[in-house]
């Protein structure tokens, strides 16, 4: 019983931390030539859940984070919410498969998740607006997402070593 309560509490804290990071990051847009790029610090919460517990918990943490953050910022069911939801769904699937196959470390899993998140958002934006030229941004956004994925993996690995030292990161 205590172990279940501990897990629910920890997952709730991850959701809250993810929401906070997502909202704070939205206040500091990175001004670049490429529209829509963000580092994605909130993804630390989902990646942490994946390595500390598993894919189900990552799905819960990431899904609740996206939904509650959109609710808190008044963007629920807006285009930005749909883009976030599409990206995180594809990212969850990709990271689960990448971790499950055993070929990738936390760095590969995170990078694959970041790149698939970008791909999901580009697909969604092309579908919503019927503006297929947005696909031209895919190479640049994918390159940036690789950098973001590596940074998120590094930060998450540091947290896992401190908070869950028995977690296997390879």
Provide the number of structural domains found in the chain.
1
Q: Is residue 79 part of a domain?
A: yes
CB 14 within 8 A of CB 62: no
Question: Which whole-number Å values give the CA distances from 121 to 20, 40, 80, 154, 168, in the listed order?
Answer: 22, 13, 9, 24, 30
pTM to 2 decimal places: 0.91
Q: What is the CATH number of the domain that holds 88?
A: 1.10.1760.20
Distance CA 94, CA 72 (A): 27
CB-count burial class (<10 Å; 0-12, 13-18, 19+) for 58 = buried
Q: Is residue 77 part of a domain?
A: yes
pLDDT tens sequence for the chain (170 residues): 578 888 899 999 999 999 999 888 888 766 666 766 788 899 999 999 999 999 999 999 999 999 999 999 888 889 889 999 999 999 999 999 999 998 999 999 999 999 999 999 989 988 888 877 777 888 888 999 999 999 999 999 999 998 876 666 65
Q: Is residue 168 part of a domain?
A: no
Name the token pair of 105: 């470390």
């Amino acid at each position: 019983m205590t172990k279940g309560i501990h897990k629910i509490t920890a997952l709730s804290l991850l959701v809250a931390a993810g929401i906070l990071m997502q909202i704070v990051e939205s206040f500091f847009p990175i001004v670049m030539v490429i529209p829509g790029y963000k580092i994605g610090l909130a993804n630390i919460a989902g990646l942490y859940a994946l390595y500390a517990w598993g894919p189900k918990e990552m799905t819960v943490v990431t899904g609740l984070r996206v939904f509650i953050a959109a609710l808190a910022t008044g963007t629920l069911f807006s285009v930005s919410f749909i883009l976030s939801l599409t990206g995180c769904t594809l990212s969850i699937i990709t990271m689960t498969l990448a971790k499950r196959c055993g070929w990738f470390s936390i760095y590969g899993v995170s990078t694959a998740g970041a790149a698939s998140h970008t791909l999901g958002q580009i697909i969604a934006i092309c579908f919503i607006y019927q503006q297929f030229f947005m696909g031209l941004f895919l190479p640049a956004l994918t390159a940036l997402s690789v950098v973001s994925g590596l940074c998120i993996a590094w930060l998450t690995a540091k947290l896992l070593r401190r908070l869950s030292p028995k977690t296997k990161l390879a």
